[in-house]
Structure formats: C-alpha cells, structure tokens
Amino acid sequence: MKVIVAGAGLGGLALANGLRGAGIDVAVHERDRSPLVRRQGYRLHLSDVGIDALTSVMAPERRAALLATAHTPAPRFVRFDPTLKELDVLEHDGLHLSVDRQTLRDALLAGVAETIVYGTRLAGFQAAVGHVTARFDDGTTVTGDVLVGADGINSAVRRQYLPHARVVSTGLVQLYGKIPAEPAASMDNVFTAITGPGHRTVGVAYTRDYATCSFGARAEDLPSGLHAMTQDQLRSLVLDMTDGWHPLIRRMIAQWHDVFPLELRTSVPIPPWPTTRVTLLGDAVHAMSPAAGAGANLALRDAAALSAALAHGGPLIPALRSYEQEMIDSGFAAVRVSAANGARFLGQDPLPSG
C-alpha cells in the first residue's frame, strides 16, 4: 500500500511515523521549502490524548527523549480578573505536559525525514477505482492507494473533497508571543487566563525556560494593520488596552517578544460523509479555536488512529470508515466544546448552525 499525505505539520508527521513503523510506504508532500522557513509556534500543551498518540506512533527511545524535555505544569486552568483576584479554578484529570513545539516537530521529523518532499503544494486530486492521484502546483503528480489531507485549516484537500465544509471567523484576534519564565513563575498552570472588560484576555502558559503570553480581543476592538506593526507598537497597543491592570501583567507585556497576530477561526461541524480513499485529519477537518487547548492533541490522535486502521491489514474502505466515524465524532465534539469555552471566557461568536 502507498499512502500520500499532504502536509508535514504535527498530524502529517505523526501519521508518517506510525505508517513507517508499520512498514507502510508513505510520501509526505509539504508546501514549505524546508522545515525552517516558517514560524511554527512556541509551547504546546499535551494531554493524555496527545501523549498516548505519540506512544503509539513514535519509536520508544525518541518518545522518551522528547518527553525528557517536557515541563509538568499544575494540572489546572486558572482564571483571574485584571487585579489578579482568582475567579475560577478548573482541575484537570490525567497527565498534562508542556513541550516546545519546535522540539516536538524535530522529534517527529527525525523518524521520517526521508519521506518528506518539500516545496510541493497539493493543488487537487483525482480519485479513480483502485487508486488516487494527487496533483501539485508545480504540475507534478503522484499516484497512491490513499490520500490524506493533513494540510491544516486552509486544506486544499478539504476544499475539493468537502466543498460544503466551512471555516469561519470566531470574531477574535490574538497577539501571540513569548516572555521570560520569571514574571510568569506564579502562573505555572496548564493555562492561566486574565479576563478583563470587553473580552480582553491575557493568556499565560509557563514552561521550563520561557512562557507564552497572548493577548486576545474582539476583532472590532483592535486597530487594522496589526501585521505591519513593530514589536514596540504591539507592546504599546496592549499596554494601552490593559491600562490599570495589575502591575505584574503589565510587566509581562513590557517583556513580550516575537509577537505575531492571528485571526482565530473555527470549522463548522458537518454530518458524516461517504468514505472513499481520500481522507482527512487534524485541522484540515476539525480546526477549532484554541480555547480548549486540544487541536494538536486531536491531530496526533487522528494520526495514531489512522495509522493503526491502515496497519490492521483488512479491506481499505471499511478501515477508513471506522477511522472516520471516531475522528468525525470526537473532532467535531471538541470543536463544539472549544466554541462553548471560547464564548464563555473569550467572547467567541457562537458556531453558525449547519
């Protein structure tokens, strides 16, 4: 069997690890020219879901080396008001780790580097009886038994395959960056949110040697042209928007660096579709706002489940169908939880119906 994967993000790389481990031929086509051309984010929260998936797809010694770099935050979500008065504490069950996203990517890449073809952006595909052909924007094609769209929130595979599936704005914009660990040391939780008037939110996630710091607000509350602003301008903007907040929060923002703006979007759940030899995983199908901290964990779980289904060796379409049933149910359930959390804590727009 030959599996073509579009996208070498966390889900595509985890899938390639699982398939290679099972001796299945896999080629991952990634639009980026190299793994280094693009900012890939900072700290990532891994729950049991993601950790179990890594256990199932990675070689034990690589997984152990990765987890040795992880930090274990207090297993809870804490919310403060702008004076740092505690509003809510939600205790989490199970294991929760913080890993550096680049470290996780490097660990996943190490097992499958030779399966990745960089600089190949999937443009479309054609499914036929017994095979599927992927077409890339440089005009080349590749034929295999299965095509997996692991190509993220703007998935070209999804756009062609499920043109009725929508990705919509949450109404929120986030400025996302890093701060030194020291000012965030009292917030060593899975996630800490400081929520102020008008859905302005500072989010802090502490790791061993730095913390991430985000500032989120309704899009209409922020000026246009955020992408063109310098780091100084972004810091000043947020210091203005958090005027009067606790001095510790303002000290964090004053030390903010590597900040970039993100429009937060979400998929809109759709009913299951007939299974074919084209399938999807992760953000390509069930992208969600970061309010549940679950997107990467679910992309990893999809990858582990899909490689197990393909490795099982039974007839292809029933194997893909059983993968998709679980992936669609759990993926869209998480999209709904994330939207509900986002509406409650961040001012996210409700999910449109249908």
Ligand X SMILES: Cc1cc2nc3c(=O)[nH]c(=O)nc-3n(C[C@H](O)[C@H](O)[C@H](O)COP(=O)(O)OP(=O)(O)OC[C@H]3O[C@@H](n4cnc5c(N)ncnc54)[C@H](O)[C@@H]3O)c2cc1C
Smaller CB separation from ligand X, 82 or 203: 203
Q: What is the helix (H) or strand (E) element at residue 104, kind and residue range?
A: helix 101-110
Residue in 62, 79, 121, 336 binding ligand X, rule: CB under 6 A: 121
- CA nearest to 102, candidates 5, 166, 231, 10: 10
Q: Is 7 in the site for ligand X (CB under 6 A)?
A: yes
CB 85 to ligand X: min, Å: 25
Smaller CB separation from ligand X, 43 or 85: 43
Helices 295-311 and 316-341 meet at what angle, rounded to 10? 170
**Selected range binding ligand X among 40-48, 67-75, 225-233, 315-323, rule: CB under 6 A:** 40-48
- CA nearest to 293, candidates 345, 241, 242: 345
CB 57 to ligand X: min, Å: 13
Q: Is 259 in the site for ligand X (CB under 6 A)?
A: no
Q: Rule CB under 6 A: which of 224-253 touch ligand X?
A: none
Q: What is the CA radius of gyration of the chain?
A: 20
**Selected range binding ligand X among 220-228, 229-237, 291-299, 331-339, rule: CB under 6 A:** 291-299
Q: Rule CB under 6 A: which of 8-37 touch ligand X?
A: 8-12, 29-32
Distance of CA 333 to the CA centre of its chain: 16
Smaller CB separation from ligand X, 239 or 262: 262
**Residue 29 contacts residue 120 (beta carbons within 8 Å):** yes
The half-sphere exposure of 215 on its side-chain side, counting CA atoms within 13 A, is 27
Residue in 111, 177, 269, 290 binding ligand X, rule: CB under 6 A: 290
Q: Is 108 in the site for ligand X (CB under 6 A)?
A: no
**Residue 309 contacts residue 319 (beta carbons within 8 Å):** yes
Q: Is 176 in the site for ligand X (CB under 6 A)?
A: yes
Residues binding ligand X: what is the number (CB under 6 A)?
32
CB 342 to ligand X: min, Å: 12
Give the span between the Cα atoms of 266 and 336, in whole angstroms.
Answer: 10
Smaller CB separation from ligand X, 327 or 343: 327
**Selected range binding ligand X among 17-25, 56-64, 83-91, 278-286, rule: CB under 6 A:** 278-286
Q: Is 216 in the site for ligand X (CB under 6 A)?
A: no
321 Ramachandran zone, left/alpha/beta (phi>0; psi -120 to 50): alpha
Residue linked to tokens 């913080």: 98
Smaller CB separation from ligand X, 171 or 293: 293
Residue 181 per-residue DSSP state: T
Smaller CB separation from ligand X, 30 or 188: 30
**Selected range binding ligand X among 53-61, 178-186, 276-284, 341-349, rule: CB under 6 A:** 276-284
Binding mask 140-169 for ligand X (x = CB under 6 A): ----------xxx---x-------------
Q: Is 283 in the site for ligand X (CB under 6 A)?
A: yes
Report the DSSP pairing between strands 189-195 and 74-80: parallel
The half-sphere exposure of 314 on its side-chain side, counting CA atoms within 13 A, is 10
Q: In what order do the strands lie in the sheet with 2-6?
A: 116-118, 25-30, 2-6, 146-149, 278-280
Q: Is 331 in the site for ligand X (CB under 6 A)?
A: no
- CA nearest to 148, candidates 5, 285, 293: 5
Residues within the interface to ligand X (CB under 6 A):
6-12, 29-32, 41, 44-45, 121-122, 150-152, 156, 176, 262, 282-284, 290, 293-297, 299
